């Protein structure tokens, strides 16, 4: 038996999230690798699922948890054998396939990667999908040719998981980072991660002109909506905006002006279905380029039982940094 964050809907459509004891025989049989999960995490999407805030969960009942780290107990997949240390991010786990906020998970080997050398299971979950997405954004900027000498990089939603890891990564790589945040009391924290300047997010979150004063060489945007539109409108000629999130909204009330008049690139970032080679590149770079002291500063460890309350904090926008769940 093992414990799991279990999400259920009854015939009347009433939702319930609880910690339940499950047995191995209840696990879905469409996975070819049985993993003993030691650590998981809470991402924004886990918050949505656990608080039933948007249709993240597509099958009921569901075990939550889009990320997991652990050890292979049994494998029918050629890339993995018993005892291998593995990690999982996304691929619909915790949405359409029972997830990793649980003592055990039966996963597809095609979704797993070996845990990168130099990172513990706890550290990989402190990074989680949020940190791996931050790395995908950084890779997006690099591959578009954005270099530290080109100017400032804007990071929005800065105190969140993606934003805080993005700041730590970009500053280590020599970029000058400007963060926007709705939490003025966290300015010192953001500076300690490597932000050069912290702006009130209200300065960029309202409807603005299609073209504004050019400031950013690149952008990591976690919030979407008017913030993303303004970020594009403020990006310098030839700059790149990476868009990964929707914390403010899914809309993009923008115009083509930044793209056709300033050659700005808007680069979409998806972590969920990213191919294995892209994941391996991102995780290898995380192992190399993320300052682990900063990682421990921006993350905290909670129990499986605490995850229901902390998911609600994430939904209230009051969470800071990354949350590791020790299963």
Residues that bind ligand NDP (CB under 6 A): 43-45, 129-130, 133, 157-163, 181-183, 201, 205, 222-223, 244-248, 269-272, 314, 317, 319
Q: What are phi and psi of 132, to 5 degrees?
A: -70, -35
Q: Minimum distance from CB of 36 to ligand NDP (Å)?
A: 25
| 34 versus 295: smaller Cβ distance to ligand NDP | 295
SS3 at position 65? coil
For residue 62, list its beta bridge partners: 7
| 82 versus 203: smaller Cβ distance to ligand NDP | 203
How does 254-282 read in b/e, with b if 16+ C-beta sit within 10 Å? beeebeeebebbbbebebeebeeeebeeb
| 129 versus 254: smaller Cβ distance to ligand NDP | 129
| 119 versus 198: smaller Cβ distance to ligand NDP | 198
Q: Minimum distance from CB of 322 to ligand NDP (Å)?
A: 8
| 103 versus 163: smaller Cβ distance to ligand NDP | 163
**Closest residue by beta carbon to ligand NDP:** 160
CB within 8 A of 186, min separation 6: which ones? 158, 159, 320
Q: Minimum distance from CB of 26 to ligand NDP (Å)?
A: 28
Q: Minimum distance from CB of 187 to ligand NDP (Å)?
A: 10
Around Cβ 286, how many Cβ atoms within 10 Å?
Answer: 23
Q: Minimum distance from CB of 23 to ligand NDP (Å)?
A: 31
Distances (CA, A) of 282 to 148, 221, 243, 290, 316: 19, 18, 17, 11, 29
Helices (H), 14-151: 44-50, 121-143
| 72 versus 190: smaller Cβ distance to ligand NDP | 190
Q: Minimum distance from CB of 308 to ligand NDP (Å)?
A: 16
CA gap 35, 33 in Å, rounded:
6
């Amino acid at each position: 038996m093992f414990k799991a964050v279990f999400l259920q809907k009854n015939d009347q459509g009433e939702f319930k999230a609880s910690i339940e004891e499950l047995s191995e025989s209840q696990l879905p049989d469409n996975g070819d690798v049985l993993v003993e999960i030691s650590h998981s995490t809470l991402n924004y999407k886990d918050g949505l699922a656990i608080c039933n805030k948007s249709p993240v969960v597509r099958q009921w009942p569901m075990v939550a948890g889009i990320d997991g780290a652990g050890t292979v107990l049994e494998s029918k997949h050629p890339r993995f054998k018993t005892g291998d240390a593995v990690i999982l991010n996304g691929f619909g786990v915790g949405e359409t396939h029972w997830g990793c906020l649980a003592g055990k998970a039966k996963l597809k080997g095609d979704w797993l990667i070996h845990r990168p050398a130099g990172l513990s299971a706890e550290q990989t979950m402190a990074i989680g999908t949020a940190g791996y997405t931050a790395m995908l954004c950084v890779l997006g900027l690099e591959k578009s040719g954005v270099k530290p000498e080109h100017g400032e990089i804007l990071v929005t939603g800065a105190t969140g998981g993606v934003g805080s890891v993005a700041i730590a990564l970009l500053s280590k790589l020599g970029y000058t980072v400007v963060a926007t945040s709705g939490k003025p009391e966290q300015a010192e924290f953001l500076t300690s991660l490597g932000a050069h300047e912290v702006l009130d997010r209200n300065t960029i979150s309202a409807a603005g002109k299609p073209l504004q004063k050019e400031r950013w060489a690149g952008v990591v945007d976690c919030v979407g909506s008017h913030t993303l539109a303004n970020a594009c409108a403020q990006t310098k000629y030839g700059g790149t905006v990476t868009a990964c999130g929707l914390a403010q909204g899914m809309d993009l009330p923008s115009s083509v002006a930044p793209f056709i008049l300033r050659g700005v690139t808007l680069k979409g970032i998806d972590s969920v279905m990213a191919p294995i080679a892209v994941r391996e590149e991102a995780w290898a770079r995380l192992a190399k380029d993320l300052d682990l002291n900063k990682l421990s500063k921006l993350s905290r460890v909670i129990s499986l039982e605490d995850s229901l309350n902390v998911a609600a904090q994430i939904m209230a926008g009051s969470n800071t940094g990354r949350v590791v769940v020790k299963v």
